Amino acid sequence: MKYIVDIETGPDNDRAKAIMPPFDLAEVKVGNLGPEKAQEKINAAKSSHEADWLDKAALRPETGTILAIGIQGDKTAILHVKEMKTEAAMLKMFWELFTDSQKTNAQWAGWNINQFDLPFLTLRSRILGVTVPAGLRSGRYWNNSMFVELMDEWLCGRNRNEVKCSLGYVAKALGVGEKTGDGSEFAVAYHRNTEKALEYLRNDLKLTAGVGKILGY
């Protein structure tokens, strides 16, 4: 059996502020600026430091939360915190489904899962005290018998920093559909209109499955 997995995250701003690295005044070069102009530059740099940190909170397991997990196999299933009550309960349910799937040697695939989804699922689970199944990793790498990184299939050895490789771009290039929004806006959309936000996740699963089929998954 083959599955597609995709997660959507949001920020935990209180946590992000609590562990934000301190602003390094030494990194601000004021040169020969007068005291007033120098202070203006320092204040701007400090504000930018805080804004950049909070802006990326949803992308880090230690400062973000998982709001929804999309799973596509024979059917599509969406686990999300409003339904499951807590993130921990949602993660527990996901790992139970994953463990059951491994009884038939199932594979799980996704787009950029090695760098984002899998670390996020694993680390959020550990942070929240949820048991993570054994064998997910082999040394520093994810277990290839369990997981397929579809982005690698698209890159074919090319440098990801030199090739367009977003899911939206690749899906459009391969003619399997288009994105219906932006993942960076998911958290706001989820709290404003949950069902509409989940439709965005369902579409991403559909796009990923379509791309995966063309790439041989």
Question: pLDDT tier at 33 (50, 70, 90 boundaries)?
Answer: low
The structure tokens listed for 103 are: 């009884």
What per-residue confidence (pLDDT) applies to 46? Answer: 77
pTM: 0.91
Instruction: Assess if residue 200 is contained within a domain.
Output: yes
Question: pLDDT tier at 7 (50, 70, 90 boundaries)?
Answer: very high
What per-residue confidence (pLDDT) applies to 61? Answer: 98
DSSP of 89-157, one letter per residue? Answer: HHHHHHHHHHHHHGGGT-EEEESSIIIIIHHHHHHHHHHHTPPPPTTSEETTEE-TTTEEEHHHHHHTT
Mean pLDDT of 134-152: 94
Question: pLDDT tier at 26 (50, 70, 90 boundaries)?
Answer: low
Q: Which of 66, 64, 28, 60 is nearest to 201 (CA)?
A: 66
Instruction: Assess if residue 174 is contained within a domain.
Output: yes
Question: pLDDT tier at 35 (50, 70, 90 boundaries)?
Answer: low
Measured CA to CA, the distance from residue 204 to residue 110 in angstroms comes to 10
Cβ atoms within 10 A of the Cβ of 46, count? Answer: 14
Does pLDDT of 38 surpass 60?
Answer: no
Question: pLDDT tier at 217 (50, 70, 90 boundaries)?
Answer: very high
Question: pLDDT tier at 36 (50, 70, 90 boundaries)?
Answer: low
Q: Which helix H or strand E contains 77, and what residues bound it? A: strand 76-80
Instruction: Assess if residue 53 is contained within a domain.
Output: no
Mean pLDDT of 212-217: 96
Q: What is the CATH number of the domain that holds 87?
A: 3.30.420.10
Instruction: Assess if residue 91 is contained within a domain.
Output: yes
Instruction: Assess if residue 27 is contained within a domain.
Output: no
Q: What is the mean pLDDT of the chain?
A: 93
Task: Evaluate whether 128 touches 87 at the Cβ level (below 8 Å).
Answer: yes
Instruction: Assess if residue 20 is contained within a domain.
Output: no
Higher pLDDT among residues 40 and 179, named by residue: 179
Instruction: Assess if residue 43 is contained within a domain.
Output: no
Q: What is the share, in percent, of the chain residues with pLDDT greater than 90?
A: 84
Higher pLDDT among residues 51 and 30, named by residue: 51
Does pLDDT of 123 surpass 60?
Answer: yes
Question: pLDDT tier at 158 (50, 70, 90 boundaries)?
Answer: very high
What per-residue confidence (pLDDT) applies to 138? Answer: 85
Instruction: Assess if residue 177 is contained within a domain.
Output: yes
How many domains does the chain fold into?
A: 1
What per-residue confidence (pLDDT) applies to 139? Answer: 85
Domain containing 184: what range?
2-14+58-214
What per-residue confidence (pLDDT) applies to 86? Answer: 98
